[in-house]
Amino acid sequence: MQEVIGTAIAIYLLSNRVIPIWGGVLITIIDTFTFLFLDKYGLRKLETFFGLLITIMGVTFGFEYATSKPNAVGVLEGMFIPWCKNCDSRALLQAVGIVGAVIMPHNLYLHSALVKSRDIDRTKKEKVSDANMYFFVEAAIALLVSFVINVFVVAVFAHGLFQTTNQEVHDLCLKHPSLNASIFPENDKYVDADLYKGGIFLGCTYGLAAMYIWAVGILAAGQSSTMTGTYAGQFAMEGFLNLQWARWKRVLFTRTIAIIPTFFLAFFSHLEDLTNMNDILNAIMSLQLPFATIPTIAFTSNPQIMGEFVNGL
């Protein structure tokens, strides 16, 4: 559901609030047809498209990082000394959610299952060993890129919004009449940031281009997450449940599960409710990590399953 929320907010920003959040949720149905179209041309074409989305995310969020110029020493310190002084429960929730957003539990199944798509002579030990090494490098690079992108995002908003009041941001936004300054109340409370407020803040602080670049990055992130979630669901259904569904049925089924509750929430509630739910869902994914990691380690450590390629743990 996170990718649906993110995509809907991105469309809301890009359309300058013309398309409502619930309308953006419905537009995400187009993802289904996009993936069905690309899937006809094979997994490699889909991976190329996936790489394009990641590149867009890296460029857009990297641009925001370069524009805001946070303290590089402070960023590095935060990486290696993860401590947040005087942080409240909301900050803790977001911190836990970041772990789940970077290392999504279903991606363990996705990366494992993608091994099956590689053309390898599995009768030769040296070929399998080489392939395992490259698979390890591929997964490590994917996690590193995801980590760097998240560092860009967190650093930008930590630099710009930490201990910043609503009044301060509101005054900045008054210089840009086209932006929605009213979402920042005229009070001395600290800004309670989310995806939408973050985009408005960037637009008010660094110009409209920064807001639209942020929205494009969110849109790419939403599409990327949609792709990984859909294919992880496919592999789980085929591997664990032995359900051999046609791809269009599987995609429609998974999209419906994600879109229906999000649509009703977007239609009957406020934008803040969606962003709060996003944080909670990311935290839940973080809590689910052991349920995906421990069985995976147990299976790959079993010589009866892995044979001579047991991981040795």
Q: DSSP assignment of 179-234, as one string?
A: S-GGGS-SSSSBP---HHHHHHHHHHHH-HHHHHHHHHHHHHHHHHHHHHHHHHHH
**Segment 102-126, tens digit of pLDDT:** 777 777 777 777 777 677 777 788 8
Residue 38, pLDDT > 80, answer: no
Q: Give me the chain's average pLDDT, please.
A: 79
Are the CB atoms for 214 and 64 separated by under 8 Å? yes
**pLDDT, position 32:** 62
**pLDDT, position 310:** 82
Model pTM? 0.79
- Between 222 and 234, the higher pLDDT residue: 222
Q: pLDDT > 70: what percent of the chain?
A: 88
Dihedral pair phi/psi, residue 222, rounded to 5°:
-65, -40
Q: Cα–Cα–Cα angle for 117, 122, 124, nearest 5°?
A: 145
User: Lowest mean pLDDT: which of 32-41, 75-84, 141-150, 284-293?
Assistant: 32-41
Can you tell me which residue has the tokens 């969606």? 274
**pLDDT, position 244:** 67
Q: Identify residue 140 by its one-letter amino acid code.
A: A
With bands split at pLDDT 50, 70 and 90, how would you rate the model's confidence at 3?
confident
Distance, in Å, from the CA atom of 267 to the CA atom of 281, rounded to the nearest integer, reads 19
**pLDDT, position 111:** 74
Are the CB atoms for 105 and 295 separated by under 8 Å? no
For residue 7, count CB atoms less than 10 angstroms from its CB and return exposed for 0-12, middle for 13-18, buried for 19 or more. Answer: buried
CB neighbours of residue 94 within 10 Å: 19
**pLDDT, position 239:** 67
For residue 290, count CB atoms less than 10 angstroms from its CB and return exposed for 0-12, middle for 13-18, buried for 19 or more. Answer: exposed
Q: Which residues touch 55 (CB under 8 Å, ≥6 apart)?
A: none
Distance, in Å, from the CA atom of 181 to the CA atom of 282, rounded to the nearest integer, reads 28
Tell me the domain boundaries of the chain. Answer: 2-301
With bands split at pLDDT 50, 70 and 90, how would you rate the model's confidence at 137?
confident
Segment 67-91 mean pLDDT: 80
**pLDDT, position 199:** 86
**pLDDT, position 43:** 67
Q: How far is CA 40 from CA 34, 87, 89, in A?
A: 10, 49, 46
What's CA 211's distance to the chain center, in Å? 18
**Segment 251-304, tens digit of pLDDT:** 677 667 767 877 887 788 777 777 777 778 888 888 888 888 888 888 888 888
**Segment 164-201, tens digit of pLDDT:** 898 988 888 888 877 878 888 888 888 887 788 888 88
Distance, in Å, from the CA atom of 44 to the CA atom of 107, rounded to the nearest integer, reads 18
What's CA 287's distance to the chain center, in Å? 16
With bands split at pLDDT 50, 70 and 90, how would you rate the model's confidence at 33?
low
**C-alpha radius of gyration, the chain, whole number:** 21
